[in-house]
Amino acid sequence: MFRFGIPLFLATWVVVHALPQPRMLVLDADNFVKESFDFLIVGGGTSGLIVAARLAENPNIQVGVIEAGEYLPDDANINVPQGTNYLGNPKYDWMLSSTPQKGANNRSIFLARGKIVGGSSAINALVWQRGAREDYDSWSSVVGNDPSWSFNGLLPYFKKVENWSPPTLMFPGQVVTSEFKSDHGKGGPIQISYANYMTDIDVPCHTTAVELGLGFNLNPDGGNMTGFPLLARNVDPRNGQRSYTAPGYFAPDLHRNNLKLLTGAQVIKINFNSAAQGSKKKNFATGVDFLLGGKTYSVRAQKELILAAGSLKTPQLLEISGVGNPKLLNSLGIKSILNLPQVGENLQDHPLCVTDFKIRDGFETLDQLRFNSTFMNQAEAQYKSTHAGPLTYTPSIYGMAPLQKIVSSSRMRSLLAQLDKEIFNNSPNLSPLQKVQYTFQRKLLSDGKVGTVGFTVVPVGGIASPASGNASYVSVVAVSMHPFGRGSTHITNLNATASPAIDVGYLSSDFDTQLLVEGLKFNRKWTETAPFSRVVEGPHTPPSNVTSDEDVTEYLRNNLLPHNHPLGTTAMAPQKLGGVVDSRLKIYGLENVRIVDAGVIPMMVTSTIAPTVCAIAEKAADIIKKDWHI
């Protein structure tokens, strides 16, 4: 979810349809706690709203959702694809930061997470991708050979989310195949479309990537994520606005009386009732405590508590409620309800690094929105009249490559040997789950069928370093798609509203470092190859004299950024491996608590994660309905 765009400081010209105040939007906590909810959902974000909407399809089921953020359906910063005023803005963002990262020269790194109805689907970069088939099939194997979590098992849920519109603007050589059409969904709540505008950079950049051997992917959502596709995005082609879970799943159901959403309220504790059944203790969640307006309230769940607070906040809530590692909990004076030490462990994200290059005069980029008032005025007028043009731009180039595609065979052998040595030396410290994960990751690397390094190109400056004057730039990003580094997120005190200690583990693996160094070196090779080189004047950040592996490594450590795809902190896996939830998303040792957010994904996927989280939520709703016969 690394975000690119032009700030729209006074976007009052955006025409949006003002929605009526929904009956299910509750602003009064006193009335909310009087409700008798069958299912209580913590978090009205990407996954929580989906589960809520699907459960509420049964009018006899009462569903309550508690969200810390606000409902902002008419906010141009969210709706306009090129709006970016939500970055680092507490109106929309949890404002989290990592602990100092050794691999990033001890820098603390800002981590964007959506604090708004719709969650991070409201503030991401609008790139809509599924992962590789092998990602989900490995997940299925980790869970215990459960085919329902394989690529084929999840495909119906990926499609259920979507209302797909075919592309109207394509790269040279692009064709819309029957497979391309059939792998997408129609009639779903999230609008999926493609770019209606490209800059002068997009086509030569894409053509060069293909000619360098990285390939043209004609059907990326069919399970093959290698090569450079025509990139889908969650933008509604009818109005040029972001399509996310709030307008997709929440707004259409304003008539429902059996779904209540409380905003501006932060859940601070899960309440449990433990009962002995034979020789075993059964732990039941009875409800939660939450804060609103400085006052603490309690609300009950009759059937289940569903956690959808996200991979960084759900572990925090569990730990502060007594579920986690007893050693940590006891050190903070928290009574241990359930010994589950892997809560908050296994944190993974896509680390990335941005380089930028000066563009020759006469070529159009998004920088014109910054320094050319005529261009900006024309873009505004076009957006108002046709819902198209530069203000709807989202990255059109995001390709994946096996490492073998960008390094020599001898370099590949050397890197794999270094990785094997690193894994062997660290094996005493690896968890059982990591050992299984690394086996899958090592095979994916050597097979060379899955993209392990990703490349994103954005035709604008100001990301790697400040843009200057009337200059135009292109930003080229290298991403580690299957990092070996692991981190964690844990509480450090009893304050449920404080940020947890988030160690994202960036570049904690030497192999991850070397992979990104190779990616950054390829960035420069790419821009120096025709036809891309015909629009690129030369390197800007880092400067042209940064060429040695040592210098590139230092640049990487000083400029590493998050992709903001955190997952895995409440992993779905057998408990003996270190899993937190089973294949039906229930927390081991708790009778009526499920997790439906990105924390359950056990291994990183070769893509952005919002589509996967949406598919999980759709599947979760079906699982819950089946388990409760509703």
For 238-252, the DSSP string reads: TTTEE--HIIIIIGG
- Whether residue 571 is predicted with pLDDT greater than 80 in this model: the reply is yes
Closest Cα to residue 358, out of 527, 492, 191? 527
- Name 156's Cβ contacts closer than 8 Å, sequence gap at least 6: none
Q: What local confidence, expressed as pLDDT, does residue 174 receive?
A: 84
Q: Tell me the C-alpha distance between 100 and 68, whole Å.
A: 27
> How many CB atoms are located within 10 Å of the residue 305 CB?
26
Provide Rg for the chain, Cα atoms. Answer: 24
pTM over 0.85: yes
Cα dihedral 132, 595, 163, 66 sign: negative
Q: What pLDDT digit, counting tens, does each position of 573-627 carry?
A: 999 999 999 999 999 999 999 999 999 999 999 999 999 999 999 999 999 999 9
Range list of H helices, 168-232: 178-182, 202-209
Distance CA 334, CA 353 (A): 39
CA 192 centroid distance within chain:
17
Instruction: Output phi, psi for 147, to 5 deg.
Output: -65, -15
Q: Mention every residue, 6+ apart, whose C-beta is less than 8 A from residue 186.
A: 162, 163, 164
**C-alpha closest to that of 253 among 245, 262, 242, 264:** 245
- Give the number of other Cβ atoms within 10 Å of residue 555's Cβ: 19
CB distance 308 to 41 below 8 Å: yes
Backbone angles phi, psi at 115, to 5 degrees: -115, 80
Give strand ranges (E) for 237-381: 241-242, 259-262, 266-277, 280-292, 295-307, 323-324, 338-339, 351-359
Residue in 507, 483, 514 with CA at minimum distance from that of residue 411: 514
Confidence of residue 422 (pLDDT cuts 50, 70, 90): very high
Predicted pLDDT at 27: 67
Segment 110-134 mean pLDDT: 96
Tokens 């209580």 belong to residue: 40
283-297 per-position pLDDT tens digit: 999 999 999 999 999
Decide: helix, strand or coil at residue 265: coil
| Dihedrals phi, psi of 525, to nearest 5 degrees | -60, -40
Average pLDDT over residues 501-509: 98
Per-residue pLDDT reduced to its tens digit, 515-530: 999 999 999 999 999 9
Q: Is 418 helix (H, G, I), strand (E, B) or coil?
A: helix
The answer for residues whose C-beta is within 8 angstroms of residue 452's C-beta and 6 or more apart is: 400, 401, 402, 403, 444, 445, 480, 481, 482, 515, 606
Q: What is the pLDDT of residues 327-366, one digit of tens each?
A: 999 999 999 999 999 999 999 999 999 999 999 999 999 9
Binding residues for FAD, by number, are 46-47, 124-127, 267
Catalytic residues: 565
**Tokens at 310, concatenated:** 């996200």
Average pLDDT over residues 385-403: 95
**Worst-scoring range by mean pLDDT, 250-259, 499-508, 611-620?**
250-259
- The confidence band for 20, taking pLDDT boundaries of 50, 70 and 90, is very low
Q: Which residues are annotated as a binding site?
A: 46-47, 124-127, 267
Strand runs labelled E in 3-43 = 25-26, 37-42
- As a whole number of Å, the end-to-end CA separation of the chain is 35
Q: How far apart are CA 134 and CA 444, in angstroms?
A: 8
The predicted pLDDT at position 84 comes to: 64
- Show the DSSP H helices in 428-480 as ranges: 432-447
For residues 128 and 110, give the distance between their C-alpha atoms in angstroms, rounded to a whole number.
23
Q: Which residue has the tokens 């391309």?
A: 180
Structure token digits, residue 596? 């439906």
Name the nearest CA neighbour of 66 among 52, 82, 80: 52
Pull the structure tokens for residue 311: 């991979």
Give the pLDDT confidence score for residue 22 in this predicted structure.
52
Please determine, for residue 125, whether its predicted confidence score (pLDDT) is greater than 50.
yes
Q: What pLDDT, on the 0 to 100 scale, is given for residue 176?
A: 85
pLDDT score, position 85? 65
Task: Measure the CA–CA gap between 43 and 320, rounded to whole angstroms.
Answer: 17
- pLDDT value, residue 175: 83
A 10 A CB-CB count for 333 gives: 8
Confidence of residue 14 (pLDDT cuts 50, 70, 90): very low
Residue 429 scores a pLDDT above 50 = yes
